[in-house]
Structures are given as C-alpha cells and as structure tokens.
Amino acid sequence: MRSSSAIFSTLAALLLTGCMAGYPLGMSEDEWERLSPQQQLDARQRQAELDQRERERRAEAARIAAEEERRERERREQRLRNAQPGEIVQCVVNNAEGYYAGDWRTAEPVGFTVVRGYPEIIDIPEQDRATRRVQAEARFDGAQITLCRPNRNACTTLAATQNQLRRGAQRDIQLNRVVRGTLYCDTPNRITNKTRPGRKQGEDD
C-alpha cells in the first residue's frame, strides 16, 4: 500500500501537468472537493489514460488522413499521365486582386492545371508579398471550371464547350473575400507522351 507522502507526491505531479485542463473526468469543483486524496489521484490517472488514448486516436486519424492524401495525389498524378484530350484544363488568374488582411490588394498572376474530377487547391499570393496569400478550390467537370472558397459556400464558374476551351475561354470573376479578376482557361491540343485515341504511334494529323 502506498504511503501518504507517495500519494501526495504523485498527486502533486499530476496536478501540475493537468492544472490547465480543469478537473478530471468532467467533474465540477464541488465534486472534486468531495473526493479523498486517493480518489483524486485515481481520477487524475484515469483522465491521463483517457487523454493518452485520445492522443493516440488523433495520431492514427492524422496518419490515415495523410495516407489517403498520398494515395489521392498518386491517383491524380496517374490520371494526369494517362489523361485523354478534354480531361485536362489549364488556367490562369490574372489582372486580379486578392482579399488580403481585410482589403483587396493586387495579386500575382497564378497558373494551374486541373484534371477532370480531381479538385485542386490554388494559392494566390499578394504581389510583392508572397507570404500573404488566399486560397480557392478549382474543379473541372468537362464543361465548367469552378473556383470556390475552400469551404465551398461561394463559387464562381467559367462555362465553355470543348471547342471553346480548345480555342481558349475567359471571363471576369469575383469570389467573395478571395479573388476578383480574369480567369482564362484552355485545354491542350495534345496530351504529352500519349497516343491520341484512334491513331497509331507516330501517325501525323
């Protein structure tokens, strides 16, 4: 059986490490005060076990999320390598302003590539201050290029046919509290290192 001095020493250490977290196990001050020193020690230890389990749960969730992100990135890169004409769109946001630090300020031109069905997060830095930036999520469904706030509660869209996209299409955009300017998009005429469907390798158009 533990001595009283050992109990109080352990309790003091646990109190120091957990003092910012309030009383353990969701106890009120009154409930806590009614416990004996040994019960308080047991409660702190139980809370420490729960906290450790929660840290392990969060670490595992973070690991799973990172692994899924890696797999998604690999799928996108494979899709990009194997994309057929019309599945990729290349865009530029220019003549733009971003909403930086609560005000509209000149943004650097930004180019990006979107594969059909794979959203991209676009960083738009402030001109001459690249550390300050805003973000938009870009999507392409074959006929529309959509820029949205990352939480997708506001979007702006460039709609165009495949023929229009082959020639290049643009429109003025304004995405609330993110970016406003010109969005220009087109699709590559050829997919690099790929044989176009229906043609043999090396066959001329």
Domain boundaries, the chain: 1-82, 88-186
pLDDT-based confidence at residue 21 (cuts at 50, 70, 90): low
Structure confidence by residue, pLDDT tens digits, 148-198: 998 778 999 999 999 999 999 999 999 999 999 999 999 987 554 443 334
Across 30-43, average pLDDT = 95
Q: Is the pLDDT of residue 147 over 60?
A: yes
Q: Is the pLDDT of residue 203 over 80?
A: no
d(Cα 161, Cα 197) in Å, to the nearest integer?
20
**Helices of type H across the chain:** 4-18, 29-33, 37-81, 162-167
Q: Is the pLDDT of residue 91 over 60?
A: yes
Percent with pLDDT over 90 in the chain: 65
Across 88-99, average pLDDT = 96
Q: For the chain, what is the total number of helices (H) and then of strands (E)?
A: 4, 9
Query: Mean of the per-residue pLDDT values for the chain?
Result: 84
Across 102-108, average pLDDT = 96
pLDDT-based confidence at residue 14 (cuts at 50, 70, 90): very low
Residue 168, SS3 per DSSP: coil
Structure confidence by residue, pLDDT tens digits, 109-126: 999 999 998 899 999 999
- Burial (CB count within 10 angstroms: exposed 0-12, middle 13-18, buried 19+), residue 167: exposed
